[in-house]
């Protein structure tokens, strides 16, 4: 079997055909009002970023034309460009948010013993609502409060990692079939 060049991706068409292509070889045709909204250079750089994402970040050698197009569309929409017509009618994702620093403050004297059960209860409450993404914010403040530290230290980093691992293990243990993304920031 012939190896695919490091800077190539195989694009699968709807007909089942595979086409090897580099980021520089991609070309696009924009029609209608959309063509006047996007600069060719901007579009080329955006496509190269999506190409890089599939190739380097996801480590994929093959992608369908539809997947690539959808990813490129999301990138372009992320720049808040008002396109003439929506290509997909995708509902906004359901995002649940929780504040870790608030949970730490609610734990008596910032004690970890009370924090972790409270964190699990908060996680359960949000996951019962079946969000697509669960975002826990304020981890730095939470860690500093629980550790009683003024500055970030190795102990703080260990506690940070412990909280993230605890959230992951709770989700996988109690909601193994969930497709919810976890974001801790």
Q: What is the pLDDT of residues 75-87, one digit of tens each?
A: 877 776 554 445 5
Q: Are 94 and 142 in contact (CB under 8 A)?
A: no
Would residue 90 count as lying in a domain?
no
Would residue 45 count as lying in a domain?
yes
The pTM for the full model equals 0.51
pLDDT (0 to 100) of residue 165 = 94
CA distance 28 to 16: 20
In DSSP terms, which residues pair with 10 in a beta bridge?
Answer: 20, 62
125 and 53 within one domain: no
CA distance 18 to 10: 6
Quick one: angle between helices 154-174 and 139-147, nearest 10? 120
Which of 25, 50, 78 is where one domain is finished? 78
Burial class (CB in 10 A: 0-12, 13-18, 19+), 146: buried
63 and 100 within one domain: no
pLDDT (0 to 100) of residue 1 = 47
54 and 126 within one domain: no
Q: What is the pLDDT along the chain (185 residues), one digit of tens a residue?
A: 455 566 787 778 777 777 777 777 766 655 455 556 667 777 778 888 888 888 888 888 888 878 887 888 788 777 765 544 455 555 666 888 999 999 998 876 657 788 999 999 999 999 888 888 889 999 999 999 999 899 999 999 999 999 999 999 988 888 777 778 888 98
**Backbone angles phi and psi of 179, in degrees to 5:** -110, 25
Write the pLDDT tens digit of every residue in 157-184. 999 999 999 999 988 888 777 778 888 9
Domains of the chain: total: 2
Instruction: State the alpha helices, DSSP H only, in the chain.
Output: 34-37, 40-52, 65-78, 100-106, 112-127, 139-147, 154-174
**Backbone angles phi and psi of 181, in degrees to 5:** -85, 140
Would residue 1 count as lying in a domain?
no
Burial class (CB in 10 A: 0-12, 13-18, 19+), 164: middle
């Amino acid at each position: 079997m012939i190896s695919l060049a490091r800077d190539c991706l195989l694009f699968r068409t709807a007909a089942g055909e595979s086409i090897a292509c580099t980021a520089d070889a991609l070309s696009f045709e924009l029609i209608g009002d959309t063509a006047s909204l996007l600069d060719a250079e901007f579009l080329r750089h955006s496509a190269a970023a999506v190409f890089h994402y599939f190739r380097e970040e996801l480590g994929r050698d093959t992608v369908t034309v539809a997947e690539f197009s959808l990813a490129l569309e999301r990138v372009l929409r992320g720049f808040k460009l008002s396109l003439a017509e929506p290509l997909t009618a995708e509902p906004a994702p359901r995002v649940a948010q929780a504040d870790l620093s608030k949970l730490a403050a609610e734990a008596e004297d910032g004690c970890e013993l009370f924090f972790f059960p409270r964190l699990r209860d908060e996680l359960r409450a949000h996951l019962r609502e079946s969000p697509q993404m669960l975002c826990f914010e304020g981890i730095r403040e939470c860690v500093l409060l629980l550790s009683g530290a003024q500055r970030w230290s190795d102990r703080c980093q260990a506690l940070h990692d412990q909280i993230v691992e605890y959230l992951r293990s709770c989700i996988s243990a109690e909601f193994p079939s969930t497709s919810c993304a976890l974001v801790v920031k």
